[in-house]
Amino acid sequence: MNWVWLHRFGSPPYFYRFAGRWAPWLLGIAVVLLLVGLYGGLVVAPVDYYQSDVYRIIFVHVPASYLALMTYVWMAIAAAVGLIWRIKVAHAVAAACAPAGASFTAVSLATGMIWGHPTWGTYWAWDPRLVSQLFVLFFFLGYIGLRGAIEDRDRADRSSAVLAIVGIVNVPIVHYSVYWWNSLHQLPTLMRSGGPKMPMSMAWPLLVMLGAYTFYFFAIMLMRARAEVLRRERGGAWLREVLATPEARP
C-alpha cells in the first residue's frame, strides 16, 4: 500500500497550505447547504401526523448527534496515528476535533432534551442512548482538560491520545444502545437497512442538513488544526517563508 499521501499530510508546511486553501471553500458549501436544509426542514417539510411541528427539531438534533460520533472517531483515529507514527500534524488534528465534537455533543443533548419534554414528559430520562451520549461529551471534555493540564506538549499529546483511543469503545455503545436495551429513544428512521422510514419530503432536508454539518466540521477542523500547527511550528524556517508570501498568511 502506498503511504505517500499520509507522509504528505504529515508535513506541517503541506498541511498548513492545504488547510488554508480548502477550509474557506468547505465553509462556503456548509453555509449554502445549511440555508437550503433549514428552509426545507422548517418551511417545505409537512407537519408530522403524530408529533406535529415538534418533530422539526430533528433537522438540528440528528445531524448534531451524528457529527458528535463522527468527530470522536476522527479524533481517535488522528490521535492513534500521532501516537503510533509520531506525526505531529495528527496530534494537531485530534486537538482541533475536540472542541468541535464537544459542541456537537452539547447541541445533540440540548435539542434532545427540548424534544423529550413534550414527547416523553421530561427533559431528562436515564435512557441508555442519553447516558451514553453524555459520556461522549465527558470524553471530549476530558481530552480537552487533560491536554490543558499537562504543560509538556509531547506528554500532553501522548496522554490525551490514549484517552481518545480508550473512549472509542463508547461510540458503538451509543449507536447500538437503542437495540441492546429497553430504550425510550426511537430506532433509526433515516440510515437503516430497509431505507428511510420517513417520506422523502422530510428525508431530503435532513440529508442536506447532514451534509451541511459535515462540511462545517471539516472546515472548522482544518481552521483549528492550521492554527494549532502555526502555534506548534512558530519559529520554524518554513513558516517564515510561508508567511512571507501574502496569499499564504492566515
13: in domain = no
14: in domain = no
**Phi, psi at residue 52, to the nearest 5°?**
55, -140
pLDDT at 249: 53
pLDDT at 75: 98
8: in domain = no
2: in domain = no
The amino acid that residue 34 corresponds to is: L
Residues 6+ apart with CB under 8 A from 58: 41, 115, 206
Per-residue pLDDT tens over the stretch 187-232: 777 766 666 778 899 999 999 999 999 999 999 999 999 999 999 8
Residue 2 in this model has a pLDDT that exceeds 60 = no
Number of structural domains the chain divides into: 1
- Nearest residue to 102 (alpha-carbon basis) of 65, 60, 141, 156: 141
Residue 244 in this model has a pLDDT that exceeds 80 = no
Burial (CB < 10 A; 0-12, 13-18, 19+), residue 191, is exposed
Per-residue pLDDT tens over the stretch 131-180: 999 999 999 999 999 999 999 999 999 999 999 999 999 999 999 998 89
pLDDT at 76: 98
Residue 246's pLDDT band (cuts 50, 70, 90): low
3: in domain = no
Q: Which domain holds residue 168?
A: 20-248
